[in-house]
Structure 1
Amino acid sequence: MRYFIETLIYLFLDISGINTLFRYLNRNKIIILCYHGICDDDFDLLKGYDDRHIPKSLFRKQLSYLKGKKYSFTTLSEAMDMLNHRKKIRNIVVLSFDDGFRNVVENAYPIMQKYHAKGCFYLIGDLIGTSKPVWTDYVETLVRNAENVTFGFSYRGENCSYNLTTKASYEKAMKDIKARLRLLSDKEKNEVLRQFQNDKTDSVPKEFRMSDWAQIQGLDKDILEVGSHTSTHPDCIRLSSDEEFDYELKYSKAKIERMVGYRTDHFNYPAGAFDERVIRQVEAAGYKTAVSLIPGFNDSKTDPFCLKRIYVNENFLFFKASVSGSYFFMKKVLRKFLKPSHYQAIFKHADSPYV
């Protein structure tokens, strides 16, 4: 029912001409699209669970749509130069990819070349060139590979147990475990994860595999430049010491710059988590920008350490509504008329995979 109502709203915005109106109203702002991976079309492991890996046929369709609507693509460095020097902005789009997945290089990059698209590829420094998945993908793989119907672990002195009998129960367990671990400091989270070091993770899907440095070095920085997504993908708000910040921010920056041979000025907050303290640390580490998961558009008034992005999922009607800006206006209107529970039910997963 939620999906049906959501689809009707997006369809109305599209056929009524409202999307066209808002594309015109927002023509002088910069769009930064938020992707994770671009998967093969037959990859359906995450179907109905989350949309962080977009099929490459849909990615191609999205870029074709943007080109057809006269959008131009720039790297983030080029977009920031426009903002900083108050150059003319007209229908500018920057693609951004979180984590460093191999399928971005293998699937997204060739499509970007075809459509003259540009963007920024945010790398988790310690994972590039390794067989280690992002910790969130690691948790999901552990749960999926659980041979017993019960999956359990120790968490802050209590035993957490999940009965895995249906697809829904597996998905609920994965979401709950990730939510619990995000509440911990990076040190505490790693201690919990060490409980599973002997568990089976030999079947990590290839879509979760990271790029290697040779692939990264083969990217044209004028098409897909790189930025830092920290060294290990912690929740930056939960970092407590200067040493932790130095490792996640300064070391990742230095390592990436050493491997690609050029300066990287762009940072990406893992899971969109940041506060004023984190912003100060990011700026002190030498970055010039940082992208968030706050939805919206960017102009000369936008804080460069709080750049807004539009999260991309598999709903093409949502894509058209969000890049036009009609989606954000419609949300504000409906918030005034719908009960909070109904509002949340409709828009719970639209803006970000972490909401």
Structure 2
Amino acid sequence: MQPRLSILMYHQVGYFAPMRSHRANYCDAGRFRRQMAFLAKGGFSVLSLDQALAGLRGELRLKPRSVVLTFDDGYRNFREHALPVLQAYGFPAVVYAISGWLGRRMAWARHEPGRLEPELLSAAQLRELQSAGVCVGSHGLSHAKLGELDADAQLRELEGSRKALQDLLGSDVRHLCYPFGSFNRATVSLAGEVGYASATTCLRGAATPADHPLVLPRKAISFGDSLAGFAWKVVVKNAPKSELVRWRAVMAEAESAGSPSALDSGETRTECIE
């Protein structure tokens, strides 16, 4: 059986009023602490994204319960509620930052009445996270839906965000997360050309060696997940959704032709349902 990897997708971590929509954008801080304790006590191997990629390539052995922790958008509450817990357990993590929105309030998603737009990490705070051992990845310049842009606009988002973050951090930015989970064949090809080593998506399922590193599936952790529900997602919910199966076929065809640049210009586009 192929090794399987659970790449977990978080957004905000904090204390929130009950909600009915966009629940995957929130994780209660208390539940987050219990989730991390479950991973620590349950014998899970929490890997950096670089370690995980090496495992998927067969360069190191992936243990049966291997996990990667990812946090989209770069919310300021990550520092207060997530980072201390991760440090207590020695868990690595990836924070995907929007380079054009550092230090501002998140303003691209719909909100429930009375709910403030959350603050994003500043440039100085992002450097602090890097110094603390957190991997910083790109989430675009402006959190645009890349799959809806033409190739030139996509290139500006992908290349511009990578350069801005590298200039800020003084180190290579190797990892990308497609905003809104929106991407198409051109996005994947351009991401590789720009120099990204990986890109995570909203495609659902466990990652395996069958997945191309620029089309990595994840498992969304939601506001309403009980500890039993979290355990089920991490341990049991591994089967790929149909959209992931389709993308595996698309990328396998491109690989057989030589590289992702062999992708045709067809309008195969994917976006988060949530």
Q: Normalising by structure 2, what TM-score?
A: 0.81
- Gap regions ≥5 residues in structure 1: 1-24, 146-202, 333-351
AA matched with 1:239? L
CA RMSD of the aligned region, Å? 2.4
- The residue number in structure 1 matching 2:12 is 37
- The residue number in structure 2 matching 1:273 is 182
1:263 Cα deviation after fit: 0.5
What whole-Å deviation, never above 9, does each CA across 1:27-56 have from its counterpart, x for those lacking one?
Answer: x3221100001013xx21x52333211111
Distance 1:96 1:240 in 2: 27
**TM-aligned CA distance change 1:301 to 1:353, over 3 Å:** closer
- Pairs aligned (count): 242
- The residue number in structure 2 matching 1:292 is 201
What whole-Å deviation, never above 9, does each CA across 1:63-120 have from its counterpart, x for those lacking one?
Answer: 1111111002121122112333531110221100011100112210111001111121
Q: Is the 8 A contact 1:35 1:98 kept in 2?
A: yes
Distance 1:280 1:55 in 2: 36
AA matched with 1:74? L
Q: Is the 8 A contact 1:75 1:222 kept in 2?
A: no
Q: Is the 8 A contact 1:235 1:273 kept in 2?
A: yes
1:214 paired to 2:124: yes
What whole-Å deviation, never above 9, does each CA across 1:300-335 have from its counterpart, x for those lacking one?
Answer: 22210111100001312321111112x355999xxx
Distance 1:240 1:70 in 2: 45
Pick from 191, 194, 211 the counterpart of residue 302 of structure 1: 211
- The residue number in structure 2 matching 1:259 is 168
- The residue number in structure 1 matching 2:45 is 72
AA matched with 2:187? V
Q: Is the 8 A contact 2:166 2:173 kept in 1?
A: yes
Distance 2:192 2:62 in 1: 26
Q: Is the 8 A contact 1:295 1:309 kept in 2?
A: yes
Distance 1:281 1:331 in 2: 25
Distance 1:47 1:230 in 2: 27
- The residue number in structure 2 matching 1:86 is 59
- The residue number in structure 2 matching 1:113 is 87
What whole-Å deviation, never above 9, does each CA across 1:131-185 have from its counterpart, x for those lacking one?
Answer: x32311xx427xx36xxxxxxxxxxxxxxxxxxxxxxxxxxxxxxxxxxxxxxxx
AA matched with 2:12? G
The DSSP-based 3-state class of the residue aligned with 1:320 is helix
Distance 1:237 1:330 in 2: 21
Q: Is the 8 A contact 1:292 1:307 kept in 2?
A: yes
AA matched with 1:225? C
Q: Is the 8 A contact 2:106 2:120 kept in 1?
A: yes
The DSSP-based 3-state class of the residue aligned with 2:199 is strand
Larger radius of gyration between Structure 1 and Structure 2: 1
Q: Is the 8 A contact 1:96 1:121 kept in 2?
A: yes
Q: Is the 8 A contact 1:75 1:223 kept in 2?
A: no
Distance 1:328 1:303 in 2: 17
- How many percent of aligned residue pairs carry the same amino acid? 25
1:264 Cα deviation after fit: 0.8
1:229 paired to 2:139: yes
Q: Is the 8 A contact 2:204 2:240 kept in 1?
A: no
Distance 1:282 1:269 in 2: 10
The DSSP-based 3-state class of the residue aligned with 1:34 is strand
1:204 paired to 2:116: yes
Distance 1:297 1:240 in 2: 30
Distance 1:260 1:47 in 2: 36
- Gap regions ≥5 residues in structure 2: 243-270
- The residue number in structure 1 matching 2:21 is 49
1:220 Cα deviation after fit: 4.1
What whole-Å deviation, never above 9, does each CA across 1:240-288 have from its counterpart, x for those lacking one?
Answer: 141x123210010000111111101111111111121111111111111
